[in-house]
Structure 1
Amino acid sequence: MTDRPNARLCIFMNDSAEEAVRFYADTIPNTHVDLVQPIGEGQNLVLFRILDTHFMAMDGNKSFEARPDHSIAVATVDQEETDRLWATLSENGSEGPCGWLCDRYGVHWQITPTAMTLMLSDPDREAAGRVQDAMMKMRKIDIATLEAAFHGEA
């Protein structure tokens, strides 16, 4: 008997699943390509993990469009990592509000510093509200600006 398979988010792409996943593996810490399986001429199924979360990318279904309400959220440890992931993933893609972006392959991401999450969930709801207001004016998240808002300095 085999172990129960895990659940995976499936991302449909037109024709660049392997290229995209290898780009993610080069960009995001602890990202691994587990399997590249040809499924047709010029089409692949790619199993991969980002920070121990399982995903599957597939080529060949042009009828599905990527949607911003389906995104991969990556928690970053500091501003340097936030800046690096933002710059790399948004290159030849598009930037959105509040830490959201769309990469060159049409995959939507949220690049969210853990410091922001902690401030937004702080028991001091006034301070958290100031952070929320500051975040709503940003594209890429700036931790120092959020910290200033949290402390009422902005």
Structure 2
Amino acid sequence: MPTPFNICLWFDHQAEDAAHFYTAIFKDSRLGRISRYGEAGKEIHGKPPGSVMTIEFELNGTHFTALNGGPLFQFNEAISLQVMCDSQAEVDHYWKHLSAGGPPEAQQCGWLKDRYGLSWQIVPKVLTEMMHDADHARSQRVMAAMMHMQKLDIAALQRAFDQP
């Protein structure tokens, strides 16, 4: 069996807050172990002894580690986490909660940034089927409709797909 991937997210000092935020949004989630900074390496990491270094958490079966590594690195759009949704209700739920406190100007075509700067794609599963349809004209109409959306609207995408 292949070794599973674990995703490590680098935060300045918000790792524990972020883990609690994410696990409150995803129904099938849990918090895990916390490691703390000690005196060892303090001259390099500069963190107070006892402060959170890492916290493990799981979202829908995917394992994450959140690291308080300092302000040196920040998230950008080069990587995003995709949430594949079965219904508009799911799209609405994840969009509402993950975008809360994030920059509204960073919302386009199903993409958003959360309050920590992490990029997410909230994607209806049916969109991937529409985009891979053998009828190029249908998939292009869906693409054109999607380009004008922030949060994806399954009914509007379906109308574009079904257009004669």
Q: Residue 37 of structure 2: SS of its match in structure 1?
A: strand
Whether 1:117 aligns to 2:155 is no
Q: Which amino acid aligns with 1:20?
A: A
Structure 2 stretches lacking a partner, 5+ long: 39-47
Which of these residues, 117, 133, 144, is aligned with residue 155 of structure 2?
Answer: 144
User: For residues 6-61 of structure 1, what are the alpha-carbon distances to aligned partners after superposition, in whole Å with 9 as ceiling and x for unaligned?
Assistant: 42221100111111111111102322222222235333312222222222110132
Q: Distance in 2 between matches of 1:47 and 1:138?
A: 34
Give per-residue Cα distances to partners, 1:92-117, cap 9 Å, x unaligned: 10242111111111211111111111
Q: TM-score, normalised by structure 2?
A: 0.84
1:9 matched to which residue of 2? Answer: 7
SS state at 1:118 partner: helix
Structure 1's unaligned 5+ residue stretches are none
> Residue 25 of structure 2 contacts residue 94 of structure 2 at CA under 8 Å; is this kept in 1?
yes
2:135 partner letter:
D
Report the Cα distance in structure 2 between the residues aligned to 1:136 and 1:37, rounded to whole angstroms. 43
Q: Using the TM superposition, name which of 56-65 and 41-50 deviates more.
A: 41-50
Identity of aligned residues (%): 34
1:86-141 Cα deviation digits (max 9, x unpaired): 11111110242111111111211111111111211222222111111111111100
Count of aligned residue pairs for this structure pair: 151
CA contact (8 A) 1:14 1:60 kept: yes
Work out whether 1:92 is the aligned partner of 2:96.
no
- Aligned counterparts, 1:1-154, within 5 A: 6-40=4-38, 41=48, 42-95=51-104, 96-152=107-163
Q: Which runs of 4+ in 1 moved over 3 A?
A: 3-6
